[in-house]
A and B are shown apart, each in its own frame.
Chain A
Amino acid sequence: MATIVQLVLNSLVAGTGYGLLAVSFAVVYNVTHFYNFLQAAVYTIAAYIAFTLLTVMSGGAPLAILCAVLGAGLLGGLMELCVYTRIRARTGSPDILLLTSLGLLVALQNCVSLVFGDEVKMLAGWNPREGFSFLGGRITGIQATTVVVCFVLYAAVAWGLRHTSFGKALRAVGSDATLATSCGVNSAQIIVGASFVGSALVGMVAVLAAYDTGLQPTMGFNALLMGIVGMIVGGIGTITGAFVGGLAIGFVQQASAWLLPSKWQDAIVFLTLMLVLLLRPQGILGSAVRRRDV
């Protein structure tokens, strides 16, 4: 019983993080329709902004978290505005955009590694790593915070997409950018806005993860993999699907670590992705596969 509770707790901690990552990728993907690998660099840079403010300059936690989240959002939005928008004006090919984002990721990740080094770093200050008991399982303060924050932010995004004018415009651009533009929605602006929101969410997850397990220049890349897998497994096009997909990936990962040596976690997660792509390409909650590019 205790192991089951522990497994569920671990899955929740990992899964809500992946879930919110998948949601943040989905927010951007649904309007831009390409895999933006830049998000991995955004994740890493957000964590290192927090690291610089907290550990290097020993600033306060609220300010550091705010700066990291805003910095992440600005980086994502700026890259959209300065790089992707220009390329989209020329070709509009999702492959070109994907390659560009790969280039940005490689360059930015190595900039971080150049400045801060490759060794694992820790965030100073508020450090709630002592665990407490919960229904027979153990969970640390930061892990409980991660679960709560990720759930709340997911709910906020899902609500915002339905009930705010920005959210409605975002969904309109996502389903048909030309039609939305002809109805008076400024698509370019909406896409920049979506990039800002998506990247800021990525930054939030990054700071939480940095508190929990420390920082490394490659952290963003691993997070991006889980986020993309969560988004696809859950079903492209739906925000709730993305969150559920992230939870599912968290569960698969923790369950596999329970049955097999934990070094096989990544392989198992990607094997799950391959199986989902083969057997149910539309994902858990997705409707029919998008046939746009047939």
Chain B
Amino acid sequence: MDYILHIIILASIYTSLAVSLDLLAGHAGILSISQAAFCGLGAYTSALLALRFGLSFLGGVLGGILTATLFSCLVSLPSTRLRGDYLIIATFAFQVILFNILNNWIELTRGPLGITDIPQPVILGLAVQSQAGFVALAAAFAGFTYFVVWRLAKSPFGRVLHAMREDQVLIQSFRKDANRFKVTAFAVSAALAAIAGSLYAHYVTYIDPTSFTVMESILILSMVIIGGPGSPWGPLVGAVVLVTLPEALRFIGLPSSVAANLRQIFYGALLVIMMMFRPRGLVGRYGFGR
């Protein structure tokens, strides 16, 4: 039972991450390979704030949001001058640099050893300790992320993002400042990813840099793309499919090292097959980046 709850919690956290990335990839049409980096920023900030300064869970989450938003400007700053494939490489570069900082700044992050004994969250005097409590918390966070992205997508702001995805010159001719919209979308997306990261850190109580690698960013992007970018249920479907289906490998009784590789092979192959035969995603309505 605990195992099933664990899977539900992981699926909820990945749903939050996929939905947050969908704001950029699906709605604004900006492929970003840096979502794991923002998630890691949130996780490390709230973990360090809790351990070094005894800050509460919500305080840590706020700290994570602030850090991620600040750092998102480092990526969106070039995005105002770059477009298309240059921008993808810029997000990619950010992801690599951030992983290097987490892995090498031993004094702050303890490097590959990771941070242990992260306290479990206490919200308004209520300690969340049981698995069931975490399911509720993670689902609430995923719901919150969904709500934010859904509201933004329906708002005039979202309509400008959609227009920008289709034709950037057109919206500039309507005197909309495309750069401002890009920077805002990046900041919101990073902040939402940071929340998911904080939750992850306080759930597993141990984080190390290997949870926030380039491959993890590619996995989150795959969830959005496989589910269906820019569609209401796409990121949810993608996250649930990519979290639960590989779990089936566990029941065949393979050694864990083989299972880890097979899981990755499954992600990769699924992404290729989807791109070849159904580029708009499982439940998506329109394909990414035409």
Contacts and interface: CB of A to CB of B under 8 A. Distances in A.
Given A95-B288, A98-B31, A113-B261, A267 B222 contact: no
A107 B88 contact: no
A103 B266 CA distance: 9
Given A267-B100, A294-B83, A110 B264 contact: yes
A106 B264 contact: yes
Interface in B62-120: 74, 77-78, 81-86, 88-90, 93-94, 96-97, 100-101, 103-104
B82 A96 contact: no
Nearest to A217: B261
B270 interface: yes
Contacts of A273: 89, 93
A106 B288 contact: no
Contacts of A90: 279
Given A102-B271, A107-B272, A110-B265, A293 B279 contact: no
A273 B215 CA distance: 20
A277 B268 contact: no
B128 interface: no
B89 A277 contact: yes
A270 B103 CA distance: 15
25 contacts: A35-B89, A91-B290, A93-B287, A93-B289, A93-B290, A94-B84, A94-B289, A99-B31, A100-B271, A100-B272, A100-B275, A102-B218, A102-B221, A107-B268, A232-B86, A264-B100, A267-B101, A271-B97, A274-B74, A274-B78, A277-B78, A277-B82, A281-B86, A289-B86, A294-B168
Interface in B268-290: 268-272, 275-276, 279, 287-290
B267 interface: yes
B257 to A, nearest CB: 8
Interface string A253-285: 000000001011011001101100110010000
Candidate in A270, A273, A289 with the most chain B CB atoms within 10 angstroms? A270
A294 B169 contact: yes
Contacts of A86: 276
B225 interface: yes
A102 to B, nearest CB: 5
Given A274-B93, A277-B90, A96 B264 contact: no
B268 A108 contact: yes
Interface in B165-219: 168-169, 214-215, 218
A87 B276 contact: yes
Candidate in A103, A109, A289, A293 with the most chain B CB atoms within 10 angstroms? A103
Nearest to A29: B85
A232 B89 contact: yes
Nearest to A113: B261
B262 interface: yes
The B interface is mostly helix, strand or loop, or mixed, namely helix
Given A263-B104, A267-B104, A278-B77, A114 B168 contact: no
Nearest to B25: A95
B78 to A, nearest CB: 5
Given A35-B89, A266-B96, A270-B93, 14 more contacts: A34-B85, A90-B279, A99-B31, A99-B222, A105-B268, A110-B261, A110-B268, A111-B265, A114-B258, A264-B104, A270-B94, A270-B97, A281-B86, A289-B86
Interface residues of B, number: 47
Nearest to B84: A293
A233 to B, nearest CB: 11
A33 B86 CA distance: 11
Contacts of B96: 225, 266-267, 270
Candidate in B82, B93, B262, B290 with the most chain A CB atoms within 10 angstroms? B93
A5 interface: no
Candidate in B77, B88, B267, B271 with the most chain A CB atoms within 10 angstroms? B271
A219 interface: no
Candidate in A90, A98, A106 with the most chain B CB atoms within 10 angstroms? A106
Nearest to B98: A267
Interface string A28-53: 00000111000000000000000000
Contacts of B77: 278
Contacts of B100: 263-264, 266-267, 270
